[in-house]
């Protein structure tokens, strides 16, 4: 990925996160992007207190910094004392005013059209081709306020909505029929000291082909990355690489129970238990992107807890040679 593109991806990430991000929490591959954003003054440094440092292990606590034999250490209440690199303690936030200014100039929005803050993290930054332009930190903020934003006292028909790309995969465009959704990092690129609107024609052919989702092995796709579960959703459920690896191994055993150890070894995974790979974190509960794989695990995998054995549920439907019906 070219450096400017990485910088734009990082700008989107920082906008999504909001607030200040520690330098060490920025993906290693995007550190060069940070340099570019600093040069452009697209990011602002956060407060820096050399007496306290945030823990690099748990990321939860801050602890006092002290010196042993010339090296700086931090005392995390949970993780104990360890050597700390204070340069990693610098933190940065995206300068939303910079972002708004540059987006407006990329869209040639005249100066007399004012910027309005509509909600926390949602702004109307102007008008483009006679339609309102909204910027939001996250698409979820737009969805939460959609009724008011698009059909309220000031209706905004067919708006342009600019947000960073979604954090998870979305099976469909949530604004379809209401507004045009632009992913910030795809639609705008860094150009000189500012941003440029990427022309629509350039998109054709650049979108990556999605892996095929049709059922090939029973309800699973060719690569096991999709599983069809009509009792859960009409759309196939997307599995992570680890989840797909587990199902691929179980599929090979055709319902013959195996120990967790065997399955995990054959799937080249390091966890002890299958469930580790499917567990839904508290923050993701209720999100079909995460609940779908868990549902697949619960409905398709037979667990014998006493013996610690696992197998794929064998029903004629699952092993239907035609594969497509379940
Ligand atoms: Zn800690």
Chain segment 239-252, per-residue pLDDT in tens: 888 899 999 999 99
Q: Cα of 85 to ligand 1 centre, how many Å?
A: 14
Span from the CA of 6 to the centroid of ligand 1 (angstroms): 30
pLDDT confidence bin for 7, thresholds 50/70/90: very high
Is the pLDDT confidence value at 171 over 90?
Answer: no
pLDDT at 324: 42
Phi/psi region, residue 320 (left: phi>0; alpha: psi -120 to 50; beta: rest), is: beta
Do residues 69 and 44 lie in contact, with contact meaning Cβ atoms separated by under 8 Å? no
Distance between Cα 60 and ligand 1 center (Å)? 6
> Ion ligand 1 — residues with CB under 5 Å?
55, 57-58, 61, 76, 78-79
* Stronger pLDDT, 119 or 315, i.e. the higher one: 119
114/242 Cα distance (integer angstroms) = 49
**pLDDT of 109 over the 60 cut:** yes
Query: In this predicted model, what pLDDT tens digit does every residue of 122-156 receive, in sequence order?
Result: 999 999 998 999 999 999 999 999 999 998 888 89
**Lowest pLDDT segment from 48-52, 101-105, 190-194:** 48-52
Indicate whether this model's pTM tops 0.75: no
Residue the block writes with tokens 């934003």: 149
Q: What is the largest CA-CA distance in the chain?
A: 72
Residue 83: count other Cβ atoms within 10 Å of its Cβ.
10
Look at residue 117 in the predicted model and tell me its pLDDT: 96
Over pLDDT 70: what percentage of the chain? 92
Range with the lowest mean pLDDT among 113-117, 205-209, 211-215, 224-228?
205-209
Please give the distance, rounded to the nearest whole angstrom, from the Cα atom of residue 204 to the centre of ligand 1. 46
* pLDDT for 128: 93
User: Is the Cβ–Cβ distance between 15 and 94 less than 8 Å?
Assistant: yes
Strand partners, 177: none
Label residue 316 by pLDDT band (50, 70, 90).
low
For 52-64, letters b (16+ CB in 10 Å) and e give: ebbbbeeeebbbe
């Amino acid at each position: 990925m070219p450096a400017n593109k990485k910088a734009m991806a990082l700008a989107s990430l920082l906008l999504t996160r909001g607030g200040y991000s520690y330098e060490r929490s920025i993906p290693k591959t995007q550190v060069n992007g940070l340099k570019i954003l600093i040069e452009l003054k697209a990011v602002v440094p956060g407060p820096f207190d050399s007496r306290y440092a945030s823990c690099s292990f748990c990321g939860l606590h801050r602890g006092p910094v002290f010196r042993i034999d010339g090296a700086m250490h931090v005392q995390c209440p949970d993780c104990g004392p360890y050597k700390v690199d204070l340069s990693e303690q610098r933190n940065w936030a995206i300068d939303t005013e910079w972002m708004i200014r540059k987006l407006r100039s990329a869209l040639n929005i005249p100066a007399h059209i004012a910027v309005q803050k509509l909600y926390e993290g949602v702004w109307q930054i102007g008008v483009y081709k006679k339609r309102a332009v909204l910027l939001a930190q996250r698409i979820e903020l737009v969805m939460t306020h959609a009724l008011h934003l698009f059909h309220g006292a000031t209706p905004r028909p067919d708006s342009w909505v600019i947000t960073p790309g979604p954090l998870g995969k979305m099976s469909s465009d949530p604004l379809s029929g209401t507004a045009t959704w632009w992913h910030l990092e795809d639609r705008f690129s860094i150009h000189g000291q500012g941003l440029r609107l990427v022309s629509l024609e350039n998109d054709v052919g650049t979108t990556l082909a999605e892996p095929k989702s049709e059922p090939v092995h029973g309800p699973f796709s060719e690569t096991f990355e999709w599983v069809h579960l009509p009792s859960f959703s009409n759309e196939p459920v997307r599995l992570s690489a680890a989840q797909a690896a587990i199902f691929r191994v179980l599929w090979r055993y055709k319902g013959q129970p195996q120990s967790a150890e065997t399955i995990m070894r054959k799937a080249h995974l390091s966890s002890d238990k299958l469930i580790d790979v499917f567990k839904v974190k508290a923050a993701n509960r209720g999100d079909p992107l995460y609940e779908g794989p868990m549902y697949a695990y619960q409905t398709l995998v037979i667990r014998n807890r006493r013996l610690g054995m696992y197998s794929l549920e064998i029903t004629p439907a699952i092993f239907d040679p035609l594969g497509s019906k379940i």
